[in-house]
Structure formats: structure tokens, C-alpha cells
Amino acid sequence: MSERRLADADVRGKRVLVREDLNVPLDGGHITDDTRILAAAPTLRGLSDRGAKVIVLSHLGRPDGKVVEGLSLAPVASRLGDILDLRVKLATDCVGPAAESAIDAMNDGDVLMLENVRFHKEEEANDPGFAKQLAALGDLYVNDAFGTAHRAHASTAGIAAYIPSYMGPLMARELDVLDSILADPHRPFVAVLGGAKVADKIAVIERLLELCDQIVVGGGMANTLLAAEGIDVGKSLRDADLGPAGAVLAKLKTGHVKAHLHLPSDAVVAVELKEGVDTHFAEVSKVAPDEMILDIGPTTAEHYRGIILHAKTVLWNGPMGVFENDAFAAGTEAVGQAIVDSGAMSVVGGGDSAAAAHQLGFAAKMTHISTGGGATLEYIEGRDLPGVTALRNSAQ
């Protein structure tokens, strides 16, 4: 069964519970990147304009089921209010009397935010009683939280069993973009993979080997694959368990895969990761035992650029190096520039990859920057996202 989309719903005067992923990075109460709030705003504005009572649910950080003052959604409500040019109140709890009285006081078109759902341990446990309590606050449920769709929690997967449920426009757009590149990509289809979360991403490589024409790899992912090839990568970030990377290499050797996989031939290395440290270029086979690979080198960057320039579709997940430090940003900048210059349809997934695209000035030139990291990767892997499945199975 396919999910219902929000554009078709009659929302005027209804209490509409909207799950968004407003889990933004905070630095002492200050929002350092409001991308997710900006991405959710059109959904909320649209509902408000259509006369709904808009009740926003989200998590923030990992409070582990108790109230943590520093993880209040108060700064998010305030920023959302600025973006929407509306007064967005925050109810001090997401269930119970505080939520109920705040909702009772709403007029059509108002936007109310409920406090961090993860202040209750029942949220992450996907407790049915808690999901029912949340559902009782609304007439309709909208799941627009693509970034959290891979989690089976009460507010992402539980509520849909109790009230009429719809997929929000942001979630729908994310899935449509991913479906289009997974089902029928313009070729050559090039994947650019890097970053630090190697163990999480190996399964994605396996799937991309079947889908893509070329895969270029940097970051900790490349270090792990190089180590699995028997290259000593010194103190570089890599997965301790080389088994999965070894399996990828073995699969490539069979010749029964679609994609060509490219690993770095040279790197930017240093003995420690800090501002102003001495760096130099080294062939990957000549990294000293006390050194770390912190970026792809210039020969590799040029090689990858050549491959990317031929692409008609690019999927980018994971920076090529520690781009947060200028000394190790050149590789990420080079692939980003190549993606822009290729004119390919480009999809960027992953929080740090999106941050790199913003920091290096490429964000506006990419076709789509996904608000999901883990969710994007699990979807590419071909796994069902519990948040989406719940909408499809919604009895209401």
C-alpha cells in the first residue's frame, strides 16, 4: 500500500501533529546550523496557511529518556518563529496537561512546538501507550522527519497506527530524489564516498557496487580499504575490523560487479591532527607508522576529478578528508568543485557532507542536499525505513 501525501488532506481547523527532524547542532544554546529548520519551514508554513493547528514534534540530541535542560527545543522554537514570522510557543512537555492546555489555546493557523520527545524513555522504546498519548493530541499525523525515518520510535513509527497519517512534503521530496537515482540514473553514475563512519557505510558500498559505474573513495573509508589490501596506513583513522572491507575487495576481484572502485594513490599526512601541524604529501604505500592520512593527495584529487567530470549522476556521502581544518580540506574541495563542473545531477547525503558543501560554498550548486544521513544510507542500502513503512501500513 502506498502512503498518503499531505497535499490531499483537508486540514482546516484540524489539530495536525507534524513530526519534523529539528535535531540541529547546538553550541551552548546557540544553533550553529539551522539547515533542518529551514528545510522543515515550508511544510509548517503550508499547513498554517491552510488553516491547520500545527503541532510540531521533534527530538533534539540524546537526553536518554530524561529531562536535560540543555536539550530543550526552546532555541529551535524561537528560530522557527523567526523563519515563519509567527509566534511559535513551546509547550514544556510533549504529552500530559502542559501539552493539552497549550493545544486547547490554539487558533487555526497557529504553530505550537512540543518539548523534546526524547525526554521520555518511551519514545525510543516505541512504547505503544506513549504513541497513543501523542496521537490523542492530534486529529491527523504528518511524518516529515526524513532524517529520523530509519528509527522505529513512538513519534516516528508509533503514532501512525492510531490516527490518519500522511507523508510530509519534505520526506516525499527526499524519497522521490533517491528513488529517481536508484531506479533509473543517468549514466555514468558516480558515487563519491568518504567520511569517518566506516563500519556503518560498508553495506552501502556493497549496494553501490551493483548500481554505480564508478566509485571514488577517500576519508576513513579509503584508509580501511587500503589496510584491507595490506597497506600500512600508520595511525590513520580506520575500522579495526578489516573483514567487511576485505569482503568488498574480494567481490571486486570476482569481476561480477558493475562498478569500478578507485582508492587514493597519494595522501596528505601529518603526525597529529591540530592547527598549524607540519603536513606533507605521501604515496599511500609510504605512510610512516606514526603518521595519519588526513586528506587525499593532489594526484588522487586530479584522478577523481577526471572521473567525476564524466558523470551524469553523482551521489556524494562523506568528506575526502578532515575538511574542518583548512590544511586537510583541499581533497573535499576538489571533488566538490568537480561535481559542480560536471553539471551532473548531484545528491549529497550526510550531516558532515552537507556541512562541507556549505562551508566550501558548493551547497547552492548541488541538485539536492539531503537532510538525512543514516536514513539516506539505509534507503540506498535497500532497507525499509520504519517511519515510511508505518505510514504505508497506517490503518486510518
Quick check: 47 and 11 in contact, CB under 8 A?
yes
Name, in order, each residue with C-beta under 8 angstroms of 57's C-beta and a sequence gap of 6 or more.
17, 18, 19, 20, 94, 114, 117, 134, 155
The reply to whether 132 belongs to the active site is no
- Applying CB under 6 A, among 17, 208, 311, 322 the residue interacting with ligand ADP is 322
Cα gap 107→173, rounded to integer Å: 29
Stretch that binds ligand ADP, among 2-10, 104-112, 133-141, 217-225 (CB under 6 A): 217-225
Residue whose C-beta lies closest to ligand ADP? 350
> What single-letter amino acid sits at 37?
I
- Interaction of residue 196 with ligand ADP, rule CB under 6 A: yes
Phi and psi based region of residue 145 (left: phi greater than 0; alpha: psi -120 to 50; beta: remaining): beta
The DSSP code for 258 is S
Tell me the site size for ligand ADP, rule CB under 6 A.
21
The interface with ligand ADP within residues 162-191 (CB under 6 A) comprises none
C-alpha pair distances (Å), 117 with each of 67, 125, 134: 10, 12, 10
Instruction: Name the burial class of residue 326, with classes exposed (0-12), middle (13-18) and buried (19+) by CB atoms within 10 angstroms of its CB.
Output: exposed
Give Cα 316 to chain centroid, integer Å: 12
The reply to whether 45 belongs to the active site is no
The distance of closest approach from Cβ of residue 310 to Mg ion in the complex, given in angstroms and rounded to an integer, is 28
Cα gap 88→185, rounded to integer Å: 41
Provide the greatest CA pair distance for the chain.
Answer: 68
- Interaction of residue 294 with ligand ADP, rule CB under 6 A: yes
- Interaction of residue 324 with ligand ADP, rule CB under 6 A: yes
Stretch that binds ligand ADP, among 73-81, 149-157, 165-173, 348-356 (CB under 6 A): 348-356
The reply to whether 61 belongs to the active site is no
- Interaction of residue 363 with ligand ADP, rule CB under 6 A: no
Which spans of this chain sit near Mg ion (rule: CB under 5 A)? 351-352
The distance of closest approach from Cβ of residue 148 to Mg ion in the complex, given in angstroms and rounded to an integer, is 15
- Interaction of residue 318 with ligand ADP, rule CB under 6 A: yes
| Catalytic entry in 351, 372, 373, 387 | 351
The distance of closest approach from Cβ of residue 370 to Mg ion in the complex, given in angstroms and rounded to an integer, is 12
- Output 162 or 328, the one with its CB closest to ligand ADP: 328
The reply to whether 351 belongs to the active site is yes
> What single-letter amino acid sits at 200?
D
The distance of closest approach from Cβ of residue 251 to ligand ADP in the complex, given in angstroms and rounded to an integer, is 22
Instruction: Name the burial class of residue 390, with classes exposed (0-12), middle (13-18) and buried (19+) by CB atoms within 10 angstroms of its CB.
Output: buried
- Interaction of residue 138 with ligand ADP, rule CB under 6 A: no
- Interaction of residue 321 with ligand ADP, rule CB under 6 A: yes
How many Cα atoms occupy the beta-carbon half-sphere of 26 within 13 Å? 18
The distance of closest approach from Cβ of residue 239 to ligand ADP in the complex, given in angstroms and rounded to an integer, is 12
- Interaction of residue 23 with ligand ADP, rule CB under 6 A: no
- Interaction of residue 319 with ligand ADP, rule CB under 6 A: yes
Strand partners, 280: 269
* Residues labelled catalytic: 36, 197, 351, 374
Residues at the interface with ligand ADP (CB under 6 A): 194-197, 219-220, 223, 237, 293-294, 317-319, 321-322, 324, 350-353, 373
